Amino acid sequence: MNRVIDRRSLIAGAAALALPIPASARSANSLAALGAAKGIRFGSTVGKDNFADPGYRALNAAQCALVVPENEMKWSITRPDAQHFDFRAADRIVDWAGANGLGVRGHTLLWHSERWMPQWVAEHDYGPNPRAEAERLLTDHVATVAGRYADRIDSFDVVNEAIDSETGALRDTALSRHIGAFETIDIAFRTARAAAPKAQLVYNDYMGWRADEGVHRDAVLRLLEQMRKRGTPVDALGIQSHLGSKFSDTPTGLGSLDEPAFRRFLDQVTGMGLGLLVTEMDVHDNPLPGAIRPRDAQVAAHAKAYLDLMLSYPQTKTVMCWGLSDRYSWLSGMRLRPDGMAKRPCPFDADFHPKPFRDAIAAAFAAAPDRRS
Give pLDDT tens digits for 276-298: 999 999 999 988 889 999 999 99
Q: What integer is the mean pLDDT of 41-49? A: 95
Does residue 144 carry a pLDDT above 70?
yes
Confidence band for 151, pLDDT divided at 50, 70 and 90: very high
Q: What range does the domain containing 76 cover?
A: 3-367
**Quick one: pLDDT at residue 372?**
94
Contact criterion met (CB below 8 Å) for 108 and 158: yes
In a domain, residue 254? The reply is yes
Does residue 33 carry a pLDDT above 60?
yes
Distance CA 99, CA 20 (A): 6
Q: Which residues contact 341 (CB under 8 A, 6 or more apart)?
A: 290
Q: Say how many domains are in the chain.
A: 1
pTM: 0.92
End-to-end Cα separation, the chain, in angstroms:
47
**Quick one: pLDDT at residue 316?**
99
**Quick one: pLDDT at residue 11?**
34
In a domain, residue 356? The reply is yes
In a domain, residue 92? The reply is yes
Our answer to whether residue 114 is catalytic in this structure is no
Percent of the residues in the chain that have a pLDDT greater than 70, as a whole number = 91
Distance CA 237, CA 233 (A): 12
In a domain, residue 17? The reply is yes
Active-site option among 70, 72, 213, 280: 280
Domain CATH number, residue 234? 3.20.20.80
> Would the CA dihedral through 143, 149, 151, 156 be positive or negative?
negative
Confidence band for 44, pLDDT divided at 50, 70 and 90: very high
Our answer to whether residue 161 is catalytic in this structure is yes
Active-site option among 161, 166, 183, 259: 161
In a domain, residue 358? The reply is yes
- Please count the helices (runs of H) and the strands (runs of E) in the chain: 14, 11
Confidence band for 362, pLDDT divided at 50, 70 and 90: very high
In a domain, residue 372? The reply is no
In a domain, residue 297? The reply is yes
Distances (CA, A) of 247 to 255, 299, 338: 7, 15, 11
In a domain, residue 161? The reply is yes
